[in-house]
Amino acid sequence: MLRIRFFEEEIRRLRAEGAVVGSVHLCNGQEAIYVGTCAALDLPTDVVFPTYRGHGWAIACGASLDAMFGELLGRTSGLNGGRGGSAYLSDPEHGMYGENSIVGAGAPIATGAALASTFDGSGRVAVAAFGDGAVNQGSVHEAMNFASIRRLPVLFVIENNRYSELTPTAAMVTSDRLFKRSSAYGIPGVRIDGNDVAIVRDTVAEAARRARAGDGPVVIEAMTERIVGHYIGDVESYREPGELDRALEQEPIVRLSRVLESAGMTGDELDALRDKVRAEVADASARALEAPLADPSTVMEHLYA
């Protein structure tokens, strides 16, 4: 979780300096969902299909920090040779099959991967991860219905950070308990504390076990809060006074630090761990900045339409 947090903080700095260009969506505050989920999966046999807020998913799956920085910086050393950037990177070698900027589009793609699993004997579980706003997309409901009918091994993970872009989710639906929508398709659904990495891990592990046994899909609504804007440059004027301060008290790294301290880890040990990871991230960033920029003349390579 520290790797993800410090990576995102460094990307924010690089974006402000102009080294990273284009739209960037950070995931600060949602790290426990990615780490807990991936800890429960059999990667890279299992596969993950996240949204455009996917840096944390890639790192939790095992993507190299050097290659991640290289990708966002448009360098030849990037995961995809600098072609994917922030919103379209992928790392199939680690089970991360690519971000998607079409809201909700990852759900039917992941359902297809789960369908393939029923034919190839891999025992693969597919994870479709999307935000609360995507639950209003028709493609998500079509995917859930198909997955239910075919009893496919796919997990639908809703990263509910309480905002659909800049609009409070509660203002968009009559019931903000989004996991209950799964009942219309005969799919079990559950709402969990998405800021508790152990709860996320245990919930996903049980759902994956069930899916692998042939019992079909599960919907997991993981409640969290992003502690940054929807995108870099978001002034967050929609937040209520004191809201961010409260979120900072309950974000996953602060929560886990309290748990570790109560288990006997000292403040000095935690600080040493933070310093070690921060240095690891800084070194990876520096190496990526030294790599050659991607050649724009190769932009049409690896493009299929």
The per-residue pLDDT for range 198-243, each reduced to its tens digit, is 999 999 999 999 999 999 999 999 999 999 999 999 999 999 999 9
- Rama region for 92: left / alpha / beta (φ>0; ψ in -120 to 50; rest): alpha
- Give the pLDDT score at 135: 95
pTM for this structure? 0.96
**Strand bridging mode 154-160 / 126-131:** parallel
| Whole-angstrom distance, CA of residue 24 vs CA of residue 232 | 6
- Give the pLDDT score at 300: 86
- Give the pLDDT score at 299: 84
- Residues of the chain short of pLDDT 70, as ranges, are none
Asked whether 220 and 158 are in contact (CB, 8 A), the reply is yes
- Give the pLDDT score at 302: 84
Domain 2-290 has CATH 3.40.50.970: yes
- Give the pLDDT score at 305: 77
7-19: b (≥16 Cβ within 10 Å) or e = bbebbbebbeeeb
pLDDT digit string, tens, across residues 34-76: 999 999 999 999 999 999 999 999 999 999 999 999 999 999 9
| Whole-angstrom distance, CA of residue 27 vs CA of residue 55 | 7
- Give the pLDDT score at 197: 98
